[in-house]
Chain A
Amino acid sequence: MKIAIVNNQAPFVRGGAELLAEWLHDKLEEYGHQAEIVRIPFQWSPPERIVDHMLAARLVRVANVDRVVALKFPAYYVPHENKVLWLLHQFRQAYDLWGTPYQDIPNTPMGIRIREAVVEGDRRYLQEVRRIYTISKIVGNRLNLYSGLKSKALFPPLLDSEPYRCEEYGDYFFFPSRINAGKRQHLAVEAMAYVTSSARLVIAGQPETPTDLGRLMSVIREHGLESRVEVIPRWITEEEKLCLLAGARGVVYLPFDEDYGYVTLEAFHASKPVLTLTDAGGPLELIEHGRNGFICEGTEMLAKAIDELSEDRALTERLGQAALDTINERDISWDRVIRCLTQ
């Protein structure tokens, strides 16, 4: 089958969506299909451009393909009679981010009409697709809430889970992620102030801005945690990440309202329990409290969880094994993804 993976494009920007499109492309070819990534430019500022690009996507023709797999707004408006959605997210500024500081679209009569156009566009045009899968339940719940559409969660697997391994349950907890306010590394540091065991914390990731890094370092200093919290403030290589995962006691991952988050999956492949907070979003769909990790209410409870794992090796191992088992139980695999998207 000739399959076009239709995604948005912001020139010169690469993120999770681009990565997912490339992985899906490679896997479709591996499974014997012909695949091509089609990128439709999307510019959302000034906000009037949002509506222009919705119309543009609607007027584009993707000919000579048997199926379209569309990932994002507004590229998912491209007309095609055999279109399935693997939805990363809708245009959140018009939905759950409306009324928050991330709204972006102004509260002017014009802004409100733009928002209405987005909502109406989704309600109308997403009905045309043959099936809707979402990368997580939270995305599906929002789609149901705001657009009245049913969908099925189809968790994206890692491209290659083979190299993930567990070598030991060492004395440190690992927090891999870009360093910024939304990923909330600072809350992990605050939890460390309550920790009574000898556990250490290793934070690794590219700071989004120098300010983000500065803020994190000053929280560490404030609590006098320089000797127990290590920060690697740069993009780490795959091998560095695998190594740090392999030796960790567990993984701490505290994003705010994340859509999905590969970190949980990477930790599970390395047989590590994951500690998170109740408002983390996507990670909550995989983490089961007390079985493969802990879902904590606040930093004090997080500190207790860190202490519990540090002091109980058998418990850590049990949770680690359950973490690995979770991937099979939930059938997070390319076999399933390709089956769903091509059937």
Chain B
Amino acid sequence: MRVLVASTYVPFVEGGGRMIVRDLVRAVRERGHEVDTIEIPFHSAWNTMLEQMLAIRMMDVSEAADVLVAIRTPSYLLRHPNKRLWFIHHHRGAYDLWGTSYQDIPSTPEGLATREAIVAADNLYLREAQRIFTNSQIVADRLREFNDLEGEVLYPPLGDPERFVSRPAEGYVFYPCRITGHKRQQLAIEAAAHLTTDVRVVIAGAPDTPQQLGPLQELVTRQRLQDRVQLIPRWISEEEKAELISRSIGVLYIPFLEDSYGYVTLEAFHAHKPVITCSDSGGTMEIVEDGKNGLIVAPEPIALAAAIDRLRSDLQAAAAMGERAHETLLGKDISWDRVVTSLLG
């Protein structure tokens, strides 16, 4: 089968959308199909968005492939008689973030008209898809709420899961994630001040901006946590990350209100490690079950510290949770076989 994977992107910006395209292309190719991508640059400045949407609509790729799989908004504007959607998010500033500080379109007459046009276009053209899948339950819920459309949840697997293996736990929990405000590395450091066992907290990731890092380092110094907290403030390789996960007691993933459960959670589960997350982290709620394959705690330092101590003080129980974490992956059938069969079926 000839498969076109379509998406949009901002040049020179790596993001989940581009990763999912790359992983899907490889998975489709490995299963014997011919595959190419259409990745159209898209800039989310509100005052040129409608023009850019029109551009995508004008492009004709209807005869180029047997199936078109559209990923990032608004690549589904592309015309194709056999279109599938793997929807990863709306233009959220016009939907669920409208009315919050993340609203990125002004509430002026022009802004309101733009928002209405975006919603109207979505309502029209999302319906051209033969089948709609989403990357999470939250996104499926939003599709129903805002566009009155049903999407089937199809969790994105890791591109290279074999990398993540389990090794005997050493005395630390690990939080691998780019360092930025809503990922809440600060909360992890604040929790470290309340730990009662000898457990350490290792945090690794590239800071989004240098300004993100300074306050974290200051906090470590001020609370005299130099022996407790290890900050690795740079991009770490996949090998390094896999190694650090494999020897951890468990993994932290405590962002504020993410759509998806996060690749970090999957990586931990592949490595047979439990995940500690927060009750307001969003997508992790779809896969982490408190006390079974991880721990769900209130987003505050003392509760988080207690959860970390709990893993450290009963390593056997932590390892057992890790085993169930791995079983969770199998149970939910988060695999490329399932993704490719669903999208092309």
Contacts and interface: CB of A to CB of B under 8 A. Distances in A.
Interface of A: 2, 4, 9-12, 34, 36, 38-41, 43, 49, 52-53, 55-65
B4 interface: yes
Given A41-B61, A62-B41, A56 B56 contact: yes
B34 interface: yes
Interface in B23-72: 34, 36, 38-43, 45, 48, 51-52, 54-56, 58-61, 63-65
Range for the number of chain B residues in contact with chain A: 20 to 34
A310 to B, nearest CB: 46
Given A2-B12, A4-B11, A36-B12, A11 B38 contact: yes
Given A11-B65, A43-B60, A57-B55, A64 B42 contact: no
A110 to B, nearest CB: 17
A114 to B, nearest CB: 15
A55 B41 contact: no
Interface of B: 2, 4, 10-13, 34, 36, 38-43, 45, 48, 51-52, 54-56, 58-61, 63-65
A9 B38 contact: yes
Q: Is the interface of A mostly helix, strand, loop or mixed?
A: mixed
A63 B41 CA distance: 8
A141 B48 CA distance: 36
A12 B64 contact: yes
Contacts of B39: 39
Given A9-B38, A61-B42, A38 B61 contact: no
Nearest to A40: B40
A59 B52 contact: yes
B11 A65 contact: yes
Nearest to B42: A61
B60 A53 contact: yes
B328 to A, nearest CB: 37
A18 to B, nearest CB: 11
A59 B55 contact: yes
B60 A52 contact: yes
Contacts of A4: 11, 41
Nearest to B2: A12
Contacts of A12: 2, 34, 36, 64-65
B61 A43 contact: yes
B45 to A, nearest CB: 7
B36 A56 contact: no
A11 B11 contact: no
Contacts of A64: 10-13, 43
Given A55-B55, A64-B13, 16 more contacts: A2-B12, A11-B65, A39-B38, A39-B39, A41-B40, A41-B64, A52-B60, A55-B54, A56-B56, A59-B51, A60-B40, A60-B41, A61-B51, A63-B10, A63-B41, A65-B12
Nearest to B48: A61
A331 B54 CA distance: 43
Contacts of B64: 10-12, 41, 43
Contacts of A53: 58-60
A53 B60 CA distance: 8
A52 B58 contact: yes
A9 B43 CA distance: 20
Contacts of A65: 11-12
A55 B12 CA distance: 25
